[in-house]
Amino acid sequence: MNKHLSMMRYEAKTLVRDPFQFLMLLFPFLMLGLSTLAFPAIIRSIGEQNEAASKITMLLLLIMLMSFGTIITGAMGSFMLLEQKDEKTINTIAVTPVGISGYLAVKLIYLYILATVSIMLIMFGTAFFAKETYSVGGVSLFDNIKTWELIVYAFVSALFAPALALFQASAARNKVEGFALVKGTGIVALLPMLIILDSFKGGLQYVLGIFPNFWSIKALFNSLMGTSTQSDLSFIWYMVTGTVYSLAILVVSYKVFLKKVQF
C-alpha cells in the first residue's frame, strides 16, 4: 500500500513538470474561461439576430462543455501511456516492486481523480459565474438541477477518462497512431449533441448509447432541461448504465494493455 501511495505522490509532483499533465492541470480553467466569457458572448451575439438559434447554440455549447472534460483528460492520459511505451520506460517499471499492473492502477486512479476535479471545476464554476447565460424562458437551466446531481455526474462521467485512455493506448502501437486515434475518437465528444434533436428524444436515443459518455450526459441534460419522455430512464438509471459500461471498457482495455506490454 505504501509503495502505491509513494507512486501517487510522485505523480502529483510531476504535474507542473510533465507537459501533458500540466495541460491537464490548466484545461479546466481554460474551459471555465470559455464557458463564462467566450460562450456567453457567442450566445448573446446570436440572440440579437435569432432567439431560436441562440437557444440551440446554447444547448450545443452546454453539451460540449459536459463532454470535453472527460474526452480531453482521456486523450492526454493515452498520450502519457503511449509515450512510456515508445520510450520503453514501462519495461523498467516492470521490475520494480509495484510492477506494471500496480503502476497502471495508480495511473488510472490518478487520471480519474484529475477528470473528476476538472469536471466539478467546469460545471460548478459555470453555474456560479455564468448560470444566467444558460437560460430558457428567463429561467437558468442550472436552477433545475440539484447539487448532488452535479456531483454524481462528475464521478460517473470521469470514469470514461481512464477507460478512454487505456482503450486508445491499447489500440495504438505508438504516439503517431495514438494521435490519429485520438482525432478519430474525438467524435465521441460531439455525438451526444444529437440528443437535442426531437428524433433522439424517444427510443432512438439509445442508438447513441454505444458511446459511453451518452449516458451521464443524457441524465444531466434531462435534469437541466427539467423534462423527460416516456422513453427516458430516471437520472439514477442513466448513471448506473454509464458506470457499468465505462467500467466494462476499463477492465477489458486494462487486460489488453497488460497483455501487450508484458513480455
In this predicted model, what pLDDT tens digit does every residue of 150-177 receive, in sequence order? 999 999 999 999 998 888 888 887 777 8
Q: Report the pLDDT value the prediction gives residue 188, as an integer from 0 to 100.
A: 72
Q: Model-level pTM?
A: 0.90
Q: Report the pLDDT value the prediction gives residue 241, as an integer from 0 to 100.
A: 97
Tell me how far apart the 2 most distant CA atoms of the chain are, in Å.
Answer: 64
Q: Report the pLDDT value the prediction gives residue 238, as an integer from 0 to 100.
A: 97
> In this predicted model, what pLDDT tens digit does every residue of 228-249 receive, in sequence order?
888 999 999 999 999 999 999 9
- Number of other CB atoms surrounding residue 117 within 10 Å: 17
Q: Report the pLDDT value the prediction gives residue 149, as an integer from 0 to 100.
A: 97
Q: If you search the block for the grid coordinates 458506470, which residue do you land on?
A: 243
Helix, strand, coil percent content, the chain, rounded in steps of 5: 85, 0, 15
H or E element in which residue 76 lies: helix 51-86
Q: Report the pLDDT value the prediction gives residue 62, as an integer from 0 to 100.
A: 93
Note whether 106 and 112 are within 8 A (CB). no
Which residues of the chain, if any, have pLDDT below 70?
1-21, 87-88, 90-98, 262-263
The answer for residues whose C-beta is within 8 angstroms of residue 85's C-beta and 6 or more apart is 169, 174, 261
Q: Report the pLDDT value the prediction gives residue 10, as an integer from 0 to 100.
A: 56
Looking at the DSSP bridge assignments, the partners of residue 136 are 139
